[in-house]
A and B are shown apart, each in its own frame.
Chain A
């Protein structure tokens, strides 16, 4: 089943500001990373998926349901963690999550039980009886995640869950999201402006920029297909780059390294031949997996 599908989805505010432009994407269940710079349209997309705002044009379906036609049906199966502060400081986490569980239609006792379960899963134990106002940012983020989880959704929409966290907190939050996506059997759409962060945990990556789709693909397909060779010579880097370009190899510079996409074993021979020909001191020649960020960078390079 397709988890989220959009067809030519467009959203303009007041006819002037374009938040989403002709976005067509379809993803399978799993952990999906939605990356883009601030203002790329990530939050707008999430709000359309929740049926909170209507698209200007185009179709959208979440878990096979159209949120513009039946928002209540979508929302009862989706959990949403907003980006901004949204916790009343004077309530305890247990009270808040229980209340929001009831608002999702859980009976009183079930809401209380599931609230403490959800808080336990995100790592809040005794502190859940204290007012949220005294919590650290990391704990608040966990409460926000717990309230999205309390009604046992089939899909979680997480808007910048690592916002404001220190590196250790980020790792812990990402590990938690990964655990939810794998062990709990709940699909997760996690939004971030930091590509390096989400690529570690997600199966599928959607990259958008200025409301347009840059790329949407399975993350393993993205990385394995584009292994590169990193070449480093102690001197004569420029000459080597020019020589390789003559050999019709698409060379990219990365500091002192030259990056050459690995087409087949012949690529090794070509590079070694070029180095020997120019009589350069070869420092390093190794294969490495592309990080997704470089993948986008090289794509832009080849376009240019």
Chain B
């Protein structure tokens, strides 16, 4: 180490800076898992605009505010009339539009910004493998979406639990309703995050990425509409496969049954194709993740 000499003492107009010279780093160096965790947490904070400018916080927190407000309103109405207005899963369905817009803003924030600024070579010249970068971002978005839906569900639960007239038994029953609702929110999160992040990772332009995400999720709904009025029962029942939102709802109807539709079959019919919906959802998530990893094997090398 160089000795702090008189030559190293620099005088500046504002005072004297004592240059103690360069210090080698002898401390611990963390492994792959901790670096992955750091990148994941960084992504999760970015999703909600934490540690970013005030402008970056506006939209995420606006969406969080709306979904929380709806959840509080539902809980309040329920405590007044004594019966649930919407189940936990129905709440998640009703919020799907907001989820889509949240993905359209947050996914580009997570990946397009890095593509645009050219910062990726700085990541990839570090020990972190490329796949870890993509997976950490994906996991961060999944978590953000799950919190976005699951947080308000928890508010609804708390409202119901504190106003229940059946004591502990009522709380327990409510909890049994909440858990499938949280799982269903997880399904929304996984499907929307994997597809949304893949679309956003294709371009460095945030506006294009946001438009692309919205297009993929919303432009596919007319196809569902067309298929569901075809004069074929099988085509009608399989129509939901054409769009991510209806695909998730199809899996929900199959797995949750009356927790989602509550006696009324509603406008969506999946017949006996429930397992097909579940398989399609798994394939969609796996395919989107594989394409995302393939994308990051190539980019910025």
Contact surface of A with B, Cβ cutoff 8 Å: 47, 50, 52-53, 71-73, 75-76, 78, 80, 82, 84-90, 95, 99-100, 102-108, 110, 114, 117, 121, 147, 151-152, 180, 183-185
Contact = CB atoms under 8 A, between A and B. Distances in A.
Given A103-B126, A105-B34, A151-B29, 10 more contacts: A72-B129, A78-B125, A86-B118, A88-B119, A90-B53, A104-B126, A110-B25, A114-B25, A183-B22, A185-B1
Contacts of A95: 51
B119 A121 contact: no
Contacts, number: 99
Interface stretch (B35-43, B87-95, B216-224, B272-280): B35-43
Given A99-B42, A105-B34, A121-B22, A86 B127 contact: no
Interface of B: 1-2, 21-25, 27-32, 34-35, 38-39, 42, 51-53, 56, 113-114, 117-129, 301
A84 B125 CA distance: 14
A183 B21 contact: yes
Contact of A107 (B21, B28, B52, B120): B28
Nearest to B130: A52
B29 A106 contact: yes
A72 B127 contact: yes
Nearest to B42: A99
A102 B38 contact: yes
A99 B41 CA distance: 11
B117 A100 contact: no
B22 A80 contact: no
A88 B113 contact: yes
Nearest to A51: B125
A82 B51 contact: no
Given A52-B124, A75-B127, A82-B122, A103 B38 contact: yes
B122 A100 contact: yes
B300 to A, nearest CB: 9
A185 B127 CA distance: 22
Contact of A90 (B34, B38, B52): B52
Contact of A52 (B30, B114, B125): B125
B25 A76 contact: no
Central interface residue in A72, A104, A107, by most chain B CB within 10 Å: A104
B35 A103 contact: yes
A121 B20 CA distance: 10
Contacts of A89: 117
